[in-house]
Amino acid sequence: MRQPLARELHDLLERGRDRQLRLAVTGLSRSGKTAFLTSLVNQLRHAGLEARLDLLPVAREGRLLGARRVNQQDLGVPRFPYDQAMAALDATPPHWPEPTRGISELRLTIRYRPTRRGLLGGETRELALDLFDYPGEWLLDLPLLEHDYPSWSLAQQPARGHERAALFTDWLAAAAELDPAAAADEGQLAELAERYAEGLRAAREAGFADLQPGRFLLPGELAGAPVLQFFPLPGIEGAERAALDRLPPESNYATLAKRFRHYQQHIVRPFYRDHFRRFDRQIVLVDLLGALNAGPERFEDLSRALANLMQSFDYGKRSLLSRLFAPRIDRLAIAATKADHVTPEQHGRLVALLEALLAEPLKDLRFADVPVRALSLAAIRATESREVSHQGRRSPALRGTDLSGEEQLLFPGEVPDRLPDAAFWARQGFDFPAFRPAPREGGALLHIRMDAALDWLIGDKLQ
């Protein structure tokens, strides 16, 4: 939904004066976006009271006065369901907030005392922080904007490993029969698209991340609409482009190409335009531990999905003008989430692994001279770190409650500090259960390094 011009102008001015900041929380499905946003709101609301934010100078120095949710800009978009998320975390027993099914927005007004006071002293300032949440599945579509139908079809077909290919054999066998030049049969295309969607669902189930089109996984109100009835055309690599373009409009090829374009222009582009263009800051959340748990092909797949995705954003230093009229992301954090799944001495290795996974996009960012910080964090800590003695030796362990309510005391394993090799996967020495969120005793949510993330993302605006 586009904002009226007057409001856009007002926002531009506020951003020029550093009174407003837009933060994109980016991450594939289940990477921890909703948990991160919930914790962010919670920490800032409890700032100065119960929240532990020692790594955030404005809080440590007692200058952070708190934060309030205010009415967001766009009345056509639902509000981020913070209260529902907190209700889930505060339930007995506590449980995690639901997977996100649509877009929601949030504006926080953060109140603080600047380091340098004016002549009269005692003044306070405000920073408006704009945030939003969305289903990770939809994010996967952003790279699709770079393509036309033939190039997208090609991009979907490289050798992507046996396990993944096996999930699409049904679809492929049927789709390979399709004659691109023959007149389109609605029923047949609908059925093939459904089989493709089945393949994508199975792939998601199996832990794969690089899945397009994202709305096939979470169609919302588009379920059954013809705009979702397309798929990549198998065998397109041999076809000559000009010959394809000459096919009549009622042909299979032209029909699929038209639907692809519609999907791209009317579904993906507005999502990008209204929500992902024009950010000042970004944090990319990665469930690295989940990928380690899932095996080499998934790990590789995650790396590809993230590299493609990060090409969809505008990074670069801001000049005053670009800041007003063509904002770019001028600072970035990449974070391995759910770090409370491993013992604290593994956190350094987790960060090293994250940097290895994102080595390619990180090179581009360095080239664009965009400051990046890699960290590991837990937005909502579910475990406690312990030490256990075994045969006279003390070793680190975690204590937590698993989803069935069982108490666990365990050492989940060593995180490799570089891209795992065959030997690592052969050992597969890594295993942990999902934990239930820990009950909160009144105060702020327990976390690991949310304060460090906040400092990097907004700390300089709270000086």
Ligand X SMILES: Nc1nc2c(ncn2[C@@H]2O[C@H](COP(=O)(O)OP(=O)(O)OP(=O)(O)O)[C@@H](O)[C@H]2O)c(=O)[nH]1
Say whether residue 31 binds ligand X (CB under 6 A): yes
Residue 138 C-beta: closest distance to Mg ion, Å: 11
Q: Please name the amino acid found at residue 440.
A: R
Region binding Mg ion by CB under 5 A among candidate stretches 77-85, 99-107, 150-158, 306-314: 99-107
Q: Return the number of other C-beta atoms located less than 10 Å from residue 101's C-beta.
A: 11
Q: Return the number of other C-beta atoms located less than 10 Å from residue 401's C-beta.
A: 19
| Torsion-angle region of 103 (φ positive above 0: left; ψ -120 to 50: alpha; else: beta) | beta
Take residue 177 and report the two structure tokens written for it: 């029969």
Nearer to ligand X, 209 or 257 (CB): 209
**Interface mask toward ligand X for 367-406; x: CB under 6 A:** -----------xxx-x------------------------
Instruction: Evaluate the CA torsion angle 234, 238, 242, 248 in order and state its sign.
Output: negative
What is the DSSP secondary-structure string of 63-102? -EEEEEEE--S-TTSPBP-HHHHHHHHHSSS--PPPPP-S
Q: Which of 15, 33, 46, 259 touches ligand X (CB under 6 A)?
A: 33
Residue 133 C-beta: closest distance to Mg ion, Å: 6
Q: Which of 111, 164, 204, 341 touches ligand X (CB under 6 A)?
A: 341
How far apart CA 235 and CA 254 sit, in angstroms, is: 15
Q: Which of 34, 42, 337, 401 touches Mg ion (CB under 5 A)?
A: 34
Residues in CB range of 353: below 8 A, 6 or more apart? 288, 292, 336, 415, 416, 417, 418, 419
Region binding ligand X by CB under 6 A among candidate stretches 148-156, 268-276, 300-308, 336-344: 336-344
11 binds, among Mg ion, ligand X, none (CB under 5 to 8 A by kind): none
Give φ, ψ of 109 to 5 degrees: -100, 120
How far apart CA 452 and CA 463 sit, in angstroms, is: 15
Nearer to Mg ion, 31 or 255 (CB): 31
412 binds, among Mg ion, ligand X, none (CB under 5 to 8 A by kind): none
Say whether residue 39 binds Mg ion (CB under 5 A): no
Distances in whole angstroms, Cα of residue 323 to Cα of each of 183, 234, 327, 461: 50, 43, 5, 15
CB 445 within 8 A of CB 39: yes
Say whether residue 435 binds ligand X (CB under 6 A): yes
Nearer to Mg ion, 15 or 30 (CB): 30
Whether omega before 81 lies within 30 degrees of 0, making that bond cis, reads no
Q: Which of 100, 293, 303, 383 touches Mg ion (CB under 5 A)?
A: 100
Say whether residue 434 binds ligand X (CB under 6 A): yes
Say whether residue 27 binds ligand X (CB under 6 A): yes
Residue 219 C-beta: closest distance to ligand X, Å: 15
- Given the rule CB under 5 A, which residues bind Mg ion? 33-34, 100
- Given the rule CB under 6 A, which residues bind ligand X? 27, 29-35, 96-97, 99-100, 135-136, 337-338, 340-341, 378-380, 382, 434-435
